[in-house]
Structure 1
Amino acid sequence: MEYVIEMLNIRKEFPGIIANDNVTLCLEKGEVHALLGENGAGKSTLVGMLFGMYRPDGGVIKVQGKAVKISNPNVANELGIGMVHQHFKLVHNFTTTENIILGIEPKIGFSVDTKNAAIRVGELSRQYGLDIDPYAKIEDISVGMQQRVEILKMLYRNANILIFDEPTAVLTPYEIEELLKIIRNLTNEGKSIIIITHKLKEIKAVAKHCTIIRRGKYIGTVNVDTTTEAEMATMMVGREVTFKVEKTPAVPKDIVLNVKDLNVMNNKKVLGLKNFNLEVRSGEIVGIAGVEGNGQSELVEAITGLRKIESGVIFLKGDNITKIPIRERIKKGIAHIPEDRHKRGLVLDYSLEDNMVLEIYNQPPFAKNGLLKKNKIREYSNKILKEFDVRSGEGGKSMARSLSGGNQQKAIIGREIELNPDLLIAVQPTRGLDVGSIENIHKRIIAHRDSGKAVLLISLELDEILNVSDRIAVINHGNLIGIVEASETDENEIGLMMAGINKDGGSDI
């Protein structure tokens, strides 16, 4: 068997944690090999050593059969290894071409030869079906396109071994399909790919083999064709996982959130939300379904106070909160799990303890006479971290930045649910979480509903919207297309409504 990469008995320790304990992964030429594990199982650490971001404490890495020491990412590039990170490394006010050639700029005399570089970028883009405009600015293109720029960066450097770290965590369902096509194109052209993902469907769609690790230990490598999703999930989590969300029918009571005739501008200074009306009652979960960028962000930011509204009113438990400050809204009982955990969810250079009290640090028991009471903050944060299984090297003292993406997400969800809000706004709550954590978070959201609270769930995962919501409001181009009972609808009907066709067959566009 010809392996292009062999990672044999790899070990890596960080303060307080053994991230990889004797892990082996072998990549065949021309295959897609999936790396599967829970949040914080050590997946990113393992491929980080292959890309020269960390040095292994034990074990051997072989490239094309030769043992190598990969001391930094430049060495990895020279060995033909490229990586698309979970959080992209792009300069936003540069063009796609400027980003792709960054660090290896071709020169004519003393100036950078962007013209020929752009021609080469265009050629590579066509060859691999990437559809990139060489002159577009990063800040003007979608997240899916930004990811393609990262892929082109590797191809421009002639990488033939490509690592994708959670590549679909930030994509819409359509972009995911397109990415899987691109991955197939890459292997058809002879590239070999390692893909880290929690999504068993995607592993089934593109991978030949799957290596599974749990809490840093190697569990096994399986042939994807002959292994079921349930078997892989059990190997990953160490117990059987139910893919069905268990819940009793909702018993809605008083109106908690009432949005009336809301008009909100988007970032392009046009209406992103148009005459929008919505009610959410205590004891129910209302899901918002729609293709990304159809007004979901504008709705959430208007309710939470992050975005100014043009006209309309927002009531919380009968009080008009349209113009009150964010902190007042939190005090009145709104909690928000944001879409972007880095921009809006955490202060990455604060400890987990400090992050757990961001909204309430100035209230008793955490503060007295303007002084913080560290022991109370520690007790409170430890409770959240334990309940929501947030894994980190040094517990509450860990910097938020040092956690895996999934553990950062669990910390935010724990913090917001612990506030016991009357209205919980959950945006993409399970993005980047493994199946075990998803099951747990869904249970928590349903328990919050069952305690008589209101939940507004915004998700791009149709399965999640259909399984967790009681009622589903469908949004298209900022318009409310209709509201349906989750128990009486299916993916097809919701899909048509997301495209702007309402229940009686007419179009609302």
Structure 2
Amino acid sequence: MTILLQMKDIHKTYPNGTVANRGVNLDVNEGEIHALVGENGAGKSTLMKILFGLEAPSNGEIIYKGKPISFKGPRDAISQGLGMVHQHFMLAPSLTVSENIVLGDEPRKGLLNMFRDRSKELEEITSLIKRFNLKVDPENVVDHISVGQKQRVEILKVLYRGAKLIILDEPTAVLTPQETDELFDSLKSLVKQGYTIIFITHKLREVMEISDRITVLKAGQTIQTLTTKDTNEEEISRLMVGRDVLFRVEKEEKKPLNTVLQLKDVTVTDEKGFKVLNEVSFQIREGEIFGIAGVEGNGQRELVEVITGLCEATSGQILYVNEDILGKSIGEIRNLKIGHIPEDRQSTGACLTSSIYENLIMDVYHNREFRSGPFLNRKKLRKFSEELMKKYDVRAESVDTLAGSLSGGNLQKVVIAREISKNPKLLIASQPTRGVDIGAIEFIHKEIVKKRDENTAVLLISAELSEIMSLSDRIGVLYEGELVAVLENTDELTEQEIGYYMLGIKKDKKGAAM
């Protein structure tokens, strides 16, 4: 095959001395789907930012279509036929699909092209949608379309600007299994039409399904490039992490005990009067993981916030060990042996301007064991935080390192260490492995199951359906603020079945309060 792109001996060192790339080499063939995998901090994102003109390399050479290139910014990359779809959608929710696609590059007409040509815009976008079979209504407002459709809009944006090489960063992070299948069909169709795709993901099963070749990065270096049909998930994970990774969570059979948390007809209304949670009822018992599945934005965040005191309920009851905790302050709830791993580790999970040490002790420094009379026993507190840092493999120079300087995966470990070390009676884990590599995912999963086996009640919220199915004993599905099903996680239950509930195609509220 013809080599379309070569990145040779790419180095990137930031002014603060951080080395992101240490001589990376990447060859991408024309008309292939090339997966780029590696642990957090392996250098994947930096490499793609360099390719797309968002970063300048410290050293190295990029050859595209047989010629050396050097992009001063994304506009240069776009002009040469490169497009990048970022993990977090960059869409204007109040604009229509077609308006988002052409934004900044609208068809013009009239004297000196003073006026926007809306009829031509609609004609071009409709033709583009048909050509690539990326089904979405061009006149729909983006705020009103599904997550899967938003993903298609992002791809249409880069296609509209003439991209022939498309970089996709974690494109399935928030998609249902059905939406993922549709996306993969679209990507395969693009490749058949001569397009080339670089696919960044943590999901090795998807790598095996969609890619032609795989390049593994570790510690800023290229480890190996593999032909997908000649490898397997185990070999890839070994190259990424440096050891065998257990993909299936080992979990012993356990009979749940007493009810720890019970929600009764909990309703939450937003500032516009819309019910973001509508009469949600369920219970979680000791020694049980209750997973919440659903496309993001269907009430998961509000569910966690109303339990932890971050927002108020319009009606209903939340009973924690038979005590109604609605109306209690955040501090009162945190003192009730409730652990909370929030979905956003940066804004609500940690204080980025404080050290690892300060983040780890914030819930325990007032405990009697860490005091000497009226004073803090700093020696004990420091030992406590150092032991947690070692146990949870937080990779930093010392506990005095600022939390804000840590990688996403290491910051997540700090949050998880703090919350699990409280020995909570109820653990709320919201997106516990988001943006975390497979080695860390394995460790986090084991810790969550360990708490369950110690009779902690666990509420697990995750956009990763495979994670929900791997860890949960029972699964509830949220759709438009309603708990539309509560399912026993048996061997017969499939991702496709849960996907139908997530999309609102099926509803079965029977047993939801059990």
TM-score w.r.t. the length of structure 1 is: 0.85
Deviation at 1:21, TM superposition (A): 1.7
**Mean Cα deviation higher: 126-135 or 238-247:** 126-135
Contact 2:339/2:424 (8 A) holds in 1: yes
Q: Which amino acid aligns with 1:90?
A: L
Determine which of 247, 250, 268 is the counterpart of 1:246. Answer: 250
CA deviations 1:407-439 (Å, max 9, x no partner) are 554444344334443221112322333322221
**Can you give the 5+ residue segments of structure 2 that lack an aligned partner in the other structure?**
none
- CA distance in 2 between counterparts of 1:186 and 1:9 reads 29
Contact 1:41/1:216 (8 A) holds in 2: yes
Partner of 1:209: 213
Change (3 A) 1:83 1:386: farther
SS of residue in 1 equivalent to 2:135: coil
Alignment length (residue pairs):
503
CA deviations 1:301-343 (Å, max 9, x no partner) are 3212333323211112222111122232222233333345566
Partner of 1:84: 85
Partner of 2:428: 425
SS of residue in 1 equivalent to 2:455: coil
- Where do 1:175-194 residues align within 5 Å? 175-194=179-198
SS of residue in 1 equivalent to 2:252: coil
- CA distance in 2 between counterparts of 1:144 and 1:245 reads 28
Q: Which amino acid aligns with 1:35?
A: L
- CA distance in 2 between counterparts of 1:484 and 1:132 reads 31
Change (3 A) 1:253 1:242: same
The answer as to 2:281 corresponding to 1:277 is yes
- Where do 1:249-264 residues align within 5 Å? 249-250=253-254, 252-264=256-268
- CA distance in 2 between counterparts of 1:301 and 1:219 reads 42
Change (3 A) 1:332 1:73: same
Contact 2:264/2:316 (8 A) holds in 1: yes
Q: Which amino acid aligns with 2:419?
A: E
CA deviations 1:462-503 (Å, max 9, x no partner) are 432232123334555655556554356532775677654659
Partner of 1:68: 69
Change (3 A) 1:274 1:137: closer
Contact 1:170/1:431 (8 A) holds in 2: no
CA deviations 1:170-203 (Å, max 9, x no partner) are 3232222222122112212211111111111111
- CA distance in 2 between counterparts of 1:379 and 1:114 reads 67
Change (3 A) 1:291 1:394: same
Change (3 A) 1:13 1:452: same
- CA distance in 1 between counterparts of 2:512 and 2:388 reads 46
Partner of 1:145: 149
The answer as to 2:433 corresponding to 1:459 is no
SS of residue in 2 equivalent to 1:203: helix
**Mean Cα deviation higher: 180-189 or 483-492:** 483-492
Partner of 1:13: 13
- Where do 1:332-481 residues align within 5 Å? 332-341=336-345, 344-345=348-349, 350=353, 353=356, 356=359, 360=363, 386-390=390-394, 397=401, 400=404, 405-475=408-478, 478-480=481-483
Deviation at 1:292, TM superposition (A): 4.9
CA deviations 1:22-59 (Å, max 9, x no partner) are 21111111111000101111111111111112222222
**Can you give the 5+ residue segments of structure 1 that lack an aligned partner in the other structure?**
none
The answer as to 2:233 corresponding to 1:234 is no
Partner of 1:329: 333
Q: What is the identity percentage for the equivalent residue pairs of Structure 1 and Structure 2? A: 44
Contact 2:361/2:385 (8 A) holds in 1: no
Q: Which amino acid aligns with 1:7?
A: M
Contact 1:260/1:278 (8 A) holds in 2: yes
Change (3 A) 1:452 1:255: same
- CA distance in 1 between counterparts of 2:508 and 2:138 reads 39
- CA distance in 2 between counterparts of 1:507 and 1:331 reads 29
- CA distance in 2 between counterparts of 1:208 and 1:30 reads 10
Partner of 2:311: 307
- CA distance in 1 between counterparts of 2:500 and 2:166 reads 36
- CA distance in 2 between counterparts of 1:354 and 1:51 reads 37
Partner of 2:172: 168
- CA distance in 2 between counterparts of 1:156 and 1:437 reads 38
- CA distance in 2 between counterparts of 1:94 and 1:65 reads 39
Partner of 1:50: 51
SS of residue in 2 equivalent to 1:244: coil
Q: Which amino acid aligns with 1:422?
A: K
- CA distance in 1 between counterparts of 2:387 and 2:133 reads 49
Contact 1:82/1:162 (8 A) holds in 2: yes
CA deviations 1:329-363 (Å, max 9, x no partner) are 2222333333455665456x646649936975996
Change (3 A) 1:139 1:497: closer
Q: Which amino acid aligns with 2:315?
A: S
- CA distance in 2 between counterparts of 1:223 and 1:99 reads 37
- CA distance in 2 between counterparts of 1:102 and 1:393 reads 45
Contact 1:392/1:403 (8 A) holds in 2: yes
Determine which of 320, 328, 333 is the counterpart of 1:316. Answer: 320
Q: Which amino acid aligns with 1:141?
A: I
SS of residue in 2 equivalent to 1:431: coil
Contact 2:485/2:512 (8 A) holds in 1: no
- CA distance in 1 between counterparts of 2:250 and 2:393 reads 21
- CA distance in 1 between counterparts of 2:198 and 2:129 reads 21
Change (3 A) 1:464 1:65: same
Contact 1:265/1:298 (8 A) holds in 2: no
Partner of 2:26: 25
RMSD across aligned positions (CA): 3.8
Change (3 A) 1:331 1:242: same
Contact 1:294/1:475 (8 A) holds in 2: yes
Contact 1:82/1:159 (8 A) holds in 2: yes
TM-score w.r.t. the length of structure 2 is: 0.84
